[in-house]
Structure 1
Amino acid sequence: MSLLERLRSLFSDSASPSSRADAGGASAQQPGTPGSAESTPPVVTRFLQKGEVVVKEGDPGTSMFVVLEGRVAVAREAQGREPVIVEQLGAGEFFGELALLTGAPRTASVVALEDAVVLELSHTGDRAAWADYGVEGDKVEQAARERFMAEAARINPLLASLSPELQKQLGHAFVPVTVPAGETLLTRGKQGDALYLLLRGQCEVFHTHDDGTQTAYPRLEEGALFGEISLLRSRLATATVRTLTPCTLLKLEREVFEKTIMTQPNLRGALVRLGLQRLKQTVQVMAEPSRPPDDNDA
């Protein structure tokens, strides 16, 4: 079976996690996988066959992996299109760190391109245990933050325009967070506490009129920045933002925002322009007749 065929079957597979494991993924009985946390050692060496699924996008994740030998492909599900391979990893590289650091579901699937050997680092272990295997936890976290920022720059033109030095600085300042569907991140009329960058998922944005009816803005997709108006202009949030799906975000707290963004004229200016565009949109929304929310607003 070709890699593309394997990816197709992977993303179209509607079986339960346990049955997927029986079909060639990581076994539920294997140490280091969810479901056996009490008996999970901190580090497990896994031997993979070509085409074997290491992790599946959307599944729970409580461990990360370091490639010792061979190569693996990282693939993301593309809505309405073929699965897309976003990168290939070889010896010394790692994946799955977001799940380990934040408890987020897997944001991509990983398939062995050839016979490979990986170390699986469990959340039940500590960094001292990892060090026995040559894995330095501080360096892993630093590299993970750099990867988050690289992904952010890939999907957000404003961040992509920044110098490598400033991207690195922001990579250390942003904190990765995961949020379930239905959680409110900003509330109209209340002070915002952070700048957000949406890495995975969708958020709805709406204005609530005085009579309780709502008018929806365009949804926020991956790569969207929001929360800048309240931080830059000391204003209350002009709209409510709520997660439509489970979301992974990078969050920059107000205090850190003031120390980083406010000292960078070019970045501050770009955010001011973004905020002005949104304020104009808010004025237009407020001028429109209010209407009850429909299914597309919820």
Structure 2
Amino acid sequence: MSNPVSPIPSLQPMGPAPLPVWTRFLPAGQVVVREGDTGASMFVILEGKVAVCREPTHRREARMLAMLNAGDFFGELALMTHCPRMASVVTVERTVVRELSLNGLAVAGARHGVEAPVVAMRCRERLLADALRSSPLLSGLSPGLWAQLGGALEPYSVGVGETLLSRGHPGDALYILLRGRCGVFHTHGDGRITAYPDMTEGDIFGEVSLLRGRLATATVTARTSCTMLRLDQTVFRKLFWGQAEIRRALVSLGLERMHRTMGVISSSTEG
């Protein structure tokens, strides 16, 4: 297959494995997992090769993230965090994989070098790498601070329609959006609603309440299923309150958001 990204939309993903441990013999061009789907298993490559791909949306083109070979594993994020699949994986040649449920990981993981602690560590590494890749603000932090911050961030997922922040109510965390799309709304005093541009992967929100203890200035609701990293306010105040570098970055972001909010309110009053 010369381009493993383009055939993805026309192929059918596999059905669920009926056993805790299941061996799959797959032809070239088979979708093993599809981005956005729920999943309760991970895969170890015994033979062959697969491509890890991001599928196209209205805001981005399809792209290949990695090629994995025998001995590599994938799908662990959905298994360990219950978040939707973060990417699609398609075989690029005849491939044999061992599919493991959570029970299968406990029973047979060590046989393939994927014991639960190893998998959990890899989950965090991949989520943090994703955050760095998609967020200019985070990628500007020093390596030491990023390593410390990475240890405090927790995977978090929400379904369509769930509210993450409500205007006029206290926020309790900082969120880094990795997958999905969130709507942002300002409710005026007369009940009218103004929508801001949607938040997409790499966007950060919740910083105003986190830093200043103020009520949220906008409502944020998941338009799609979303996967993110979450930094609890209590953890932030305990570990990062004195870190000038991260405070400066978040203050800058918060001021930008507050100016935008004041602009919305001002234009509404003038109208």
What is the aligned length?
Answer: 268
Alignment partner of 2:23 out of 18, 29, 45: 45
Greater CA drift, 217-226 or 261-270:
261-270
Distance 1:50 1:72 in 2: 9
Q: In the TM superposition, what is the alpha-carbon distance from 1:188 to its structure 2 partner?
A: 0.7
Q: In the TM superposition, what is the alpha-carbon distance from 1:253 to its structure 2 partner?
A: 0.8
In structure 1, runs of 5+ residues without a counterpart are: 14-19, 291-298
In structure 2, runs of 5+ residues without a counterpart are: none
Greater CA drift, 125-134 or 250-259:
125-134
Partner residue in 1 for 2:43: 65
- Residue pair 1:149, 1:167 contacting (<8 A) in 2 also: no
Question: Which stretches of structure 1, 4 residues or more, deviate above 6 A after TM superposition?
Answer: none
Structure 1 vs Structure 2: percent identity of aligned residues?
A: 53
Partner residue in 2 for 1:74: 52
Alignment partner of 2:208 out of 216, 229, 245: 229
Whichever residue aligns with residue 74 of structure 1, its letter is V
Offset from partner CA, 1:74-105 (integer Å, 9 cap, x none): 01112256531111122332211221122233
Greater CA drift, 95-104 or 256-265:
256-265
Q: Residues 119, 260 of structure 1: CA spacing in aligned structure 2 closer, same or farther, 3 A cutoff? A: farther
- Residue pair 2:105, 2:115 contacting (<8 A) in 1 also: no
Q: In the TM superposition, what is the alpha-carbon distance from 1:235 to its structure 2 partner?
A: 0.6
- Residue pair 1:156, 1:223 contacting (<8 A) in 2 also: yes
Whichever residue aligns with residue 199 of structure 1, its letter is L
Q: In the TM superposition, what is the alpha-carbon distance from 1:132 to its structure 2 partner?
A: 4.5
Alignment partner of 1:208 out of 171, 187, 208: 187
Offset from partner CA, 1:34-70 (integer Å, 9 cap, x none): 6x4xxx22x3233333322211223321111122333
- Secondary structure of the residue that 1:98 maps to in structure 2? helix
When the two chains are superposed, the root-mean-square deviation of aligned CA atoms in Å is 2.1
Structure 1 residues 224-263: aligned runs within 5 Å: 224-263=203-242
- Residue pair 1:46, 1:118 contacting (<8 A) in 2 also: yes
- Secondary structure of the residue that 1:47 maps to in structure 2? strand
TM-score (norm 1): 0.83
Distance 1:218 1:134 in 2: 44
Alignment partner of 2:175 out of 181, 196, 199: 196
Structure 1 residues 270-281: aligned runs within 5 Å: 270-281=249-260
- Residue pair 2:5, 2:64 contacting (<8 A) in 1 also: no
- Secondary structure of the residue that 2:131 maps to in structure 1? helix
Whose strand proportion is higher, 1 or 2?
2
Offset from partner CA, 1:17-47 (integer Å, 9 cap, x none): xxx2xxxx42x3xxxx26x4xxx22x32333
Q: In the TM superposition, what is the alpha-carbon distance from 1:163 to its structure 2 partner?
A: 2.9
Structure 1 residues 86-105: aligned runs within 5 Å: 86-105=65-84
Partner residue in 2 for 1:17: none
Structure 1 residues 1-298: aligned runs within 5 Å: 2-4=1-3, 7-12=5-10, 20=12, 25-26=13-14, 28=15, 33=16, 36=18, 40-41=19-20, 43-80=21-58, 83-125=62-104, 127=106, 129-289=108-268
Distance 1:212 1:245 in 2: 25
